[in-house]
Structure 1
């Protein structure tokens, strides 16, 4: 069983590279194109906080926005976006960001504030040359092992996808 999980994890990391994903390590800047002319961002994964604490001290509920309960935990990833294209970047970074775990599961980012720092707003607008930095949060099972973070323009639907490998915990 453990061997099959390792194989799934290896495939989850290898397949994106074979399909044209731009790989990198945490801290590396990856240049990504969008689907429209002039859309280009330099994206850097600058920090991973695992586990991340909810931003508020209010009690968490299973479906509420304040944080996980039961077998879940939060992981916060800090991204730096720089518009290096000629078009204005208008997008929502959270659903454009995904976390992959070693079992091959994929989790979509949330606009959920944590104690790690401010989340990106639901919509980010960057003129050419402008930058923005913020956290994208993921709700994952407590026993999940994060393996990589992915980001793509156009709500995560652009063909050009950046991927950063994460060190084992």
Structure 2
């Protein structure tokens, strides 16, 4: 019989996580330089030990997410948030009764496999009523849009704005990002004040 041991893992660069159930995916938030203790018994693995709830990630925080494939991992940061986001050209604007909001994402490949995806496919925003809105195509004055076909080798990064069209009176409270065009099992979530 093996005696249970506790392995303490120090996560770097704002990558500690707390897992909460969220339908078929897990929501992940971060805290800087936090330690996560994971009990293990013999050769079998077990779920992370329960820990005190962590503060939700906000703009500027980094969330580390795993993809579906071996070696797929990103450190995802929302660098900036704009609300409303101003259209960069006069012929492409939000529909009547709507506005654009946008998040500047930085995706750093911290895994061992190439990250190849359309990042905007796996992101959405939610308002205080629980309504969710997917990304839309729109160039904004805040800066360049996120590429629609990212190919990021291990150790490299990609940076760009992702725009969302929402009703004029919606109060956006969350931004979510999931790898593999939204099909990975972990979802990063950032609270918008």
TM-score by length of 2: 0.72
How many residues end up aligned between the 2 structures? Answer: 145
**Residue segments in structure 1 that go unaligned for 5+ positions in a row:** 1-15, 59-65
- Identify the match of residue 88 of structure 2 among 37, 52, 55: 55
**Residue segments in structure 2 that go unaligned for 5+ positions in a row:** 1-18, 30-56
In the aligned structure 2, how far is the partner of 1:126 from the partner of 1:99? 24
Moved over 4 A (4+): none
Larger strand percent = 2
Q: Which has the higher contact order (CA 8 A, sep 6+)?
A: 1
Is 1:158 matched with 2:184? yes
Larger helix percent = 1
Q: Decide whether the 8 Å contact of 1:102 with 1:145 is kept in 2.
A: yes
Cα root mean square deviation, aligned: 1.3
In the aligned structure 2, how far is the partner of 1:136 from the partner of 1:156? 15
For residues 27-81 of structure 1, the C-alpha deviation after alignment (integer angstroms, 9 at most, x for no partner) is 11000000010000000011111001111133xxxxxxx1113210000110000
TM-score by length of 1: 0.82
- Identify the match of residue 66 of structure 2 among 33, 38, 48: 33
In the aligned structure 1, how far is the partner of 2:80 from the partner of 2:188? 16
